[in-house]
Every structure is written in structure tokens, then in C-alpha cells.
């Protein structure tokens, strides 16, 4: 990709003259002088070569693991080279959500393809052009369901912790009550859910699989929500949808999730992409943008923004959401990944994840790490052992293996994906077996 170059003095002068301003300082005349920063305490600038050397030295502080057995919301999947190479082209990297939309047919088509793929995965009628991440998508879904007489959001204490925090942050300023129910054996307690929902319940939020990796009875949860007159919002791991029932088949009104597993590297936690899809009935409450396909006056295929409920310029005071942008580039990468994999490829990835995770769970049990929860699981599971979690994880770390996520003194959340081999898993189990 070409280097980004600042404007020259001549170009800056020409731009100032064109708007009738003598200097850059005049652009800030409306800001009181006592509020302006007097000086930026910045170090001396570096040349390109010096910058590269500095970044190389900085990168050596990272620890690169040969084997990764941790997920908990950020997953290590193989990304085909086609995806990396196409996504690195400058016309994709520099393209932003268009404001004169119909002038940017390429971007609109890319978003349309992304929306179509999300609908295929979830079984829903409509998808938007993405939001920031999975946690953000769940919180936005909560706002879609909230009504004047229904302002109670119900979920379980087995969803991703970061998602729950974002939901509570959104709810606090909107006067929404968040009920967090305790799970039963790691999964949703259906009896407790029936007792918790009522006339004031706006929606029930469930993650499938949940944070502990268990596969939930999503259909029954949806039925309980609907019987109470509430909406059902389902958070999904997109890779698991190649094997599990779709949100639509489970009766969900809105499906959300994080698209990170779809070709986006873990990258120190972001940027990621939140996907949102819903039934046609809920479409007009969907935040962000929806791109549609039509024909122009010559009958040629064309793409347009069919709905953009962005409060930035439409009904600001009546808006359901404060979303002002999307993750168009990350959504494009997800589209490239799904196109490269195809339905069969995605299914094979999901099957490999499941196979390796179940092999790992069985092998760990043989060395004394028992599964905490006995339900079915996709590619994550929790183990309990008398040996402290810290001892196990430190032993793996010394061998270049990133172990699972420590949940408590004796509990670890493990994950296995298609990037692993049987030899990787055997090596990890052997090390754990020696830890006393």
C-alpha cells in the first residue's frame, strides 16, 4: 500500500485561500483562547527508517505462542492468504462508508454482499451494514426492543462479560432495568426465566453457544420470551452457525454477534465487526444502514441505501440508536473470508473445531481435569481440577502454549479451533499431566 503523505505548504495555502482564510489558526477562532492547548509535549519526529526500527524493537516485546488454547470471545482461526492479499489493496483499505452513497457503487455492492451472507448464516430477513463489535450489537438490539411499557431486559450470567458490561452501560442512561439470572449447570435456567419474564419484559438475550461453550436450548428460551410478549435476541458465534440451528429456526427476532472469527485476526482485541440481522417486522428499528439492489434508469443493476435510520441526519430526537458509523472494512474482510470458504468450507472449519475441542476435553479428563458442566458444547468448555489454574497455565506458557482463560483458582475455560493439530493437543495434555 502507498504511503500516506501530508499536504504540501502550497496545497495548504491554496485550500485556505479557497475558503477565504489566511491561516490555519483562523480555523479555530471560535474556540476561546483559554481552552486551547498551548503546546504539545511531543518527542522529536523520526524518519521512516527510524520508525520501522522502533516498531521492530517494540514488536520483540510481544510473546508469540506456537499453540493457542484460549478463546473467550476472540478466536484463532486460519485466514486464507486470498483474504489477506485482497483486503490489503489500497482501494479497499482507504474506502469509507459513503456519504454520497450512490456514487460509490463498489462499496455499496460490498456491503450488500456482506448483508446477504449474514442473512444466509442467521436465516433472518434483513441485515444492516454492521456495527462496531458483538457487545455493541447486543446493546443496540436491546434498544430496538425497548418500549414505553416494556423496559426490562433479561439475560443470564453466562454471556460474555464484556457484552454484559456494554449492555449495562447502555441501559443505565436509558432507564432500562437489566435482570441477570444465574445459570443452572452453566446453561440457562428455564424455570428461573419463566419466573423472571412478565408484562414489563422487553426482550430476553441468550448467547449460543454461551460464554462457557455450552449449547443452549435456544428454541425453548425463545418460546418463553414470546409467551410473555417479549422479543428474543440471540447472540451467535458465526462459525457455529455452520452446524447449529440458525437464529431464525430458533425463533429469534434479532440475531447479533461478533464477526471476528470470519477472517479477522485477534489483533490485540480489535478492530472487530458486530453483525445484526432481524425479521422484516423489526427492520425499521435497525440502527445503521441497509443497502438494497435495484436497477438504474437504463435497466442496469445498481445499489442504493434503502434504509438509513441514522439520527445524524434523520429524526435525530426520535432515533432508536446513536450509532453514527459502521465497520465497513471489517465487514468487507468477513465477506471475503466467507466467499473464500464457501458453505462447505465453513462447515468443515466448524466440524474441525468441534472435533478438536472434544478430543482435548477427553484427554484432559484422563490427567485429572474434569469438565465442570456436562452439557453439549461447540469448541469451548470449562474444566475443574485440584491443581491450581495458575500452575497449569504457567507450565504451558513456558512451553510456548497459551493455555485457557482462568475463571477461578481451579477453573479454566479452554478453546480449540481448526488451527491446532492432534500433536499440539497431545503436547499440551502431556505438560498438564506433569503438573502437580
Domain CATH for 403? 3.90.1150.10
Q: Which domain holds residue 102?
A: 81-337
Which residue carries 447486543 as its cell? 138
Question: Nearest to residue 261, comparing CAs of 19, 33, 45, 75?
Answer: 75
Residue 248's pLDDT is what? 98
pTM comes to 0.88
- Residue 287 confidence (pLDDT): 87
The confidence score (pLDDT) of residue 103 equals: 75
Residues 319 and 385 in one domain: no
Q: Are residues 196 and 321 in the same domain?
A: yes
Q: pLDDT in tens for each of the 436 residues of the chain?
A: 345 667 889 999 999 999 999 999 899 999 998 998 888 888 899 999 999 999 999 999 999 999 999 999 999 999 999 999 999 988 888 766 666 667 788 888 989 999 999 999 999 999 998 999 999 999 999 999 999 899 999 999 999 999 999 999 999 988 999 999 999 999 999 999 999 999 999 999 999 999 999 999 999 999 999 999 999 999 999 999 999 999 999 999 999 999 999 999 998 888 999 999 999 999 988 888 889 999 999 999 999 888 765 545 556 666 667 776 778 899 999 999 999 999 999 999 999 999 999 999 999 999 999 999 999 999 999 999 999 999 999 999 999 999 999 999 999 999 999 999 999 999 999 999 999 7
Q: How far apart are CA 281 and CA 277, in angstroms?
A: 11
Q: Say how many domains are in the chain.
A: 2
Residue ranges of alpha helices (H) inside 282-388 are 328-366
Residues 390 and 246 in one domain: no
Domain boundary among 303, 337, 371: 337
Whether 75 and 136 map to the same domain: the answer is: no
Q: Say what the pLDDT of residue 278 is.
A: 97
Which of 337, 363, 379 finishes a domain?
Answer: 337
Q: Is residue 127 part of a domain?
A: yes
Does one domain contain both 315 and 197?
A: yes
Residue 303: inside a domain? yes
Evaluate whether residue 6 is within a structural domain: no
Whether residue 26 is contained in a domain is answered as no
Where are the strands (E) in 209-281, listed by range? 231-236, 254-258, 274-278
246 and 140 in a common domain: yes
Which pLDDT belongs to residue 41? 87
Residues 6+ apart with CB under 8 A from 67: 400, 401, 402, 420, 424, 427, 428
Q: What is the pLDDT of residue 1?
A: 39
Residues 178 and 107 in one domain: yes
pLDDT of residue 226: 98
Residues 162 and 207 in one domain: yes
Cβ proximity of 433 and 379 under 8 Å:
no
- Do both 73 and 89 map to the same domain? no
Q: Are residues 101 and 230 in the same domain?
A: yes
Report yes or no on 50 lying in a domain. Answer: no
The confidence score (pLDDT) of residue 309 equals 56
Question: Do 266 and 393 lie in a common domain?
Answer: no
- Which residues lie closer than 8 Å to 306 by C-beta, 6 or more apart? 290, 291, 292
Residue 46 within any structural domain of the chain: no
Q: Which pLDDT belongs to residue 3?
A: 58
| Domain harbouring 106, CATH code | 3.40.640.10
- pLDDT value, residue 101: 67
- Sequence-separated (6 or more) residues with CB below 8 Å from residue 276: 127, 128, 130, 131, 137, 140, 141, 254, 255, 256, 286, 287, 288
Q: Please state whether 149 falls in left (phi above 0), alpha (psi between -120 and 50) or beta.
A: alpha
Which of 294, 318, 337 is the endpoint of a domain?
337
Please check whether residue 53 lies inside any domain of the structure.
no
Task: Identify whether 16 is part of a domain.
Answer: no
Q: Are residue 73 and residue 85 in the same domain, yes or no?
A: no
Amino acid at each position: 500500500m502507498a504511503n500516506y503523505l501530508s499536504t504540501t505548504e502550497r496545497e495548504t495555502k491554496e485550500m485556505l485561500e479557497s475558503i477565504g482564510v489566511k491561516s490555519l489558526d483562523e480555523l479555530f477562532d471560535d474556540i476561546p483562547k483559554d481552552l486551547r492547548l498551548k503546546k504539545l509535549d511531543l518527542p522529536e519526529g523520526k524518519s521512516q527508517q527510524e520508525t520501522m526500527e522502533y516498531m521492530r524493537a517494540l514488536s520483540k516485546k510481544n510473546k508469540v505462542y506456537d499453540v493457542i488454547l484460549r478463546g473467550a470471545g476472540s478466536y484463532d482461526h486460519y485466514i486464507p492468504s486470498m483474504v489477506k492479499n485482497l483486503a490489503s489493496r489500497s482501494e479497499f483499505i482507504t474506502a469509507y462508508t459513503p456519504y454520497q452513497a450512490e456514487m460509490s457503487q463498489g462499496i455499496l455492492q460490498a456491503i450488500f454482499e456482506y448483508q446477504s451472507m449474514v442473512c444466509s448464516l442467521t436465516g433472518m430477513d434483513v441485515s444492516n451494514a454492521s456495527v462496531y463489535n458483538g457487545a455493541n450489537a447486543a446493546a443496540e438490539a436491546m434498544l430496538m426492543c425497548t418500549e414505553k411499557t416494556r423496559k426490562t431486559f433479561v439475560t443470564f450470567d453466562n454471556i460474555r462479560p464484556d457484552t454484559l458490561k456494554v449492555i449495562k452501560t447502555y441501559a443505565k442512561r436509558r432507564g432500562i432495568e437489566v435482570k441477570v439470572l444465574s445459570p443452572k449447570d452453566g446453561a440457562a435456567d428455564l424455570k428461573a426465566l419463566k419466573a423472571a419474564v412478565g408484562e414489563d419484559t422487553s426482550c430476553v438475550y441468550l448467547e449460543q453457544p454461551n460464554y462457557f461453550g455450552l449449547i443452549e436450548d435456544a428454541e425453548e428460551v425463545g418460546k418463553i420470551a414470546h409467551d410473555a410478549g417479549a422479543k428474543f435476541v440471540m447472540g451467535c458465534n458465526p462459525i457455529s452457525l455452520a452446524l447449529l440451528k440458525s437464529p431464525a429456526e430458533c425463533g429469534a427476532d434479532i440475531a447479533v454477534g461478533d464477526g471476528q472469527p470470519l477472517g479477522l485476526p485477534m489483533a490485540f482485541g480489535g478492530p472487530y465487526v458486530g453483525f445484526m440481522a432481524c425479521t422484516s417486522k423489526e427492520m425499521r428499528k435497525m440502527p445503521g444502514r441497509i443497502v438494497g439492489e435495484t436497477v438504474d434508469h437504463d435497466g442496469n443493476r445498481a445499489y442504493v441505501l434503502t434504509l438509513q435510520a441514522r439520527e445524524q441526519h434523520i429524526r435525530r430526537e426520535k432515533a432508536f440508536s446513536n450509532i453514527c458509523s459502521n465497520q465497513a472494512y471489517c465487514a468487507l474482510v468477513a465477506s471475503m473470508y466467507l466467499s473464500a470458504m464457501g458453505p462447505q468450507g465453513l462447515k468443515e472449519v466448524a466440524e474441525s473445531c468441534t472435533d478438536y475441542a472434544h478430543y482435548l476435553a477427553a484427554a484432559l479428563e484422563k490427567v485429572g481435569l474434569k469438565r465442570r458442566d456436562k452439557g453439549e458444547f461447540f469448541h469451548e468448555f470449562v474444566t475443574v481440577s485440584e491443581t491450581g489454574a495458575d500452575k497449569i497455565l504457567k507450565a504451558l506458557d513456558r512451553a510456548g502454549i497459551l493455555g485457557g482463560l482462568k475463571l477461578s483458582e481451579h477453573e479454566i475455560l479452554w478453546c480449540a479451533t481448526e488451527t491446532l493439530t492432534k500433536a499440539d493437543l497431545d503436547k499440551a495434555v502431556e505438560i498438564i499431566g506433569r503438573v502437580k
